[in-house]
Chains A and B, each alone.
Chain A
Amino acid sequence: EAQVTQNPRYLITVTGKKLTVTCSQNMNHEYMSWYRQDPGLGLRQIYYSMNVEVTDKGDVPEGYKVSRKEKRNFPLILESPSPNQTSLYFCASSLSRTSGFYYNEQFFGPGTRLTVL
């Protein structure tokens, strides 16, 4: 089954304790992205990756890191979480328009609800 998986689904942590949220896709997609969803703000892009070893900042990258060592995995790292990073996080993947695919609907993972105390 084609899917994007995220772990953990729920996480409560304390300020400053490093954490990683994993994301994996089995569709051989080039493009992967992380979003956060906050009330009244919709989905905002944190970081994205066009392919292995190619990552770039989205609209709200402060306080986050990512890596793309393998095509299927795109972990999100919070090295020193703060309460303003309490949010619902989604990972997504798609084929890439820059590779010639026009219809690049993104497939989303189930989400990770993070609370930073």
Chain B
Amino acid sequence: DQQVKQNSPSLSVQEGRISILNCDYTNSMFDYFLWYKKYPAEGPTFLISISSIKDKNEDGRFTVFLNKSAKHLSLHIVPSQPGDSAVYFCAASRINTDKLIFGTGTRLQVFP
């Protein structure tokens, strides 16, 4: 049972445009959501997170939106840069637990 789903395995965006990566979840007990970025031959690195009491969190070019009623979150990257080309994982955590449940990832390619 895949509790966190990233239905788009890949996304290709032109430099300077917006990248939108999507993530759906099924467990209403999740209260904390995170996005990680992964380059080849490196471990995932934390990018941005959002608590379930918020619907938006912004950090520079990166904004995460949470729609609790739809059990959906998205990561917006504006403007996209070639260095953003990586695999992006969304993850979720349940109340008072440390376990992160990851989606399957979306490979973003930003071309000039």
The residues of A with any CB-CB pair to B shorter than 8 Å are: 4, 31, 33, 35, 40-45, 48, 50, 58, 90, 92, 94, 96-98, 102-111
Inter-chain contact B46/A48, CB cutoff 8 Å: no
A5 to B12, alpha carbons, bound, how many Å? 32
Known interface pairs A4-B43, A111-B41; A97-B96 also in contact (CB < 8 Å)? yes
B residues near A105, Cβ cutoff 8 Å: 34, 46, 49
Best-surrounded residue of A97, A103, A110 (most CB of chain B within 10 A) = A97
Closest chain-B Cβ to A101's Cβ sits at a distance in Å of: 9
- Residue B69 is within 8 A (CB to CB) of chain A in the complex: no
Inter-chain contact A98/B46, CB cutoff 8 Å: no
Q: Total contacts A to B, CB within 8 angstroms?
A: 61
The residues of B with any CB-CB pair to A shorter than 8 Å are: 6, 9, 32, 34, 36, 41-46, 49, 51, 89, 93, 96-100, 102-105
Closest chain-B Cβ to A107's Cβ sits at a distance in Å of: 7
